Amino acid sequence: MTQIPMYRTATTTMNRPLDMTPGAAGDVPGDLLMRFEAAFEADFSLVATGRTAAWIHGFDVLPPGVDQRDWPVESSPDPPLADITVVDGLPVTRLARTLVDCAADLPRLEAVAAADQILRRGIDAGSLSAALEPVHGERLRRANATLLAADPRSESPMESWTRCLVADAGLPAPVPQLRVRTPNGRSRFLDLGWEAWQVGVEYDGLGTGLGLPADRRRHQALRNLGWEILVLTASDVMEHPRPWLVRLREMLLERGWDPDPNQLRDVNERIEAVNTAVGRS
């Protein structure tokens, strides 16, 4: 059976000095930034790292459903000076270092979603290469796997999660935010799409499986052009991936995707492995 990494864990696993205990900072109610500020005022050696650094940089990479007011402050007393910058008057790891830490240390789906967000802001290749240079072993493997799976075109964490699950299932890679031009010259966009087979996947943030009225009109317009649209909810993505991955496999096959028998067998095994991994998370 194909091995798929665990997708979620209760807390981040770090291979560097890290303070995630409530302590003095945990006694300060409210925003994560404010709680790190309180911790820093008590110990000027601290530097925000991991998810806390990402939050201060302006990215929400906390686990799904977690209130940032409840998340422990993540900090380290000894990042290299070259890895430190100042945001809102507070010392945090630079964006490239924060990206590498998230890519290496977060559970896979969260890591890919975090990398998508941070890359969308823009990271130059030199900074990223420098941030990766001191990383070794399993952390380097995980960071590289995350960065290879990342795509800054995704516009929401659930889009990122969906794309990652599709990839881990071995299905053909979709295009995030695929533009479809209609006969009247207007553009319609799909969260994920396969233009060759006119198949699209949309995430419904309302949780109804129907989407907003505007989304329904857009979907119908695309269906009128011959597209098949699969609409997913958070429950589908986070809890029950097997049914929709099987449906997506069948949609692609019906539309002309032609894998060889060994490839299809691998996809079937990987769908089961993904489903098992999500169930364990």
What CATH number is given to the structural domain containing 177? 3.40.960
This prediction's pTM: 0.85
User: Which residue range(s) make up the domain with 41?
Assistant: 23-149
What's the maximum distance between 2 C-alpha atoms anywhere in the chain?
Answer: 63
Instruction: For residue 166, give the nearest of 158, 141, 117, 6 by alpha carbon.
Output: 158
How many Cβ atoms from other residues are within 10 Å of residue 192's Cβ? 24
Q: What confidence tens digit (pLDDT) does each residue in 152-208 have?
A: 999 999 999 999 999 999 999 999 999 998 888 788 899 999 999 999 999 987 655
Q: What angle do CA 130, 136, 142 make, to 5 degrees?
A: 95
Q: What is the mean pLDDT of the chain?
A: 88
Tell me: do 239 and 178 sit in the same domain: yes
Q: What confidence tens digit (pLDDT) does each residue in 233-260 have?
A: 999 999 999 999 999 999 999 999 999 9
Tell me: do 263 and 170 sit in the same domain: yes
Is the Cβ–Cβ distance between 98 and 71 less than 8 Å? no
Q: What confidence tens digit (pLDDT) does each residue in 16-43 have?
A: 333 444 333 444 457 999 999 999 999 9
Residue ending a domain, choose from 104, 123, 149: 149
pLDDT at 6: 62
Question: Is residue 224 pLDDT above 90, yes or no?
Answer: no
What is the total count of domains within the chain? 2
Residue ending a domain, choose from 133, 149, 165: 149
| 17 belongs to a structural domain | no
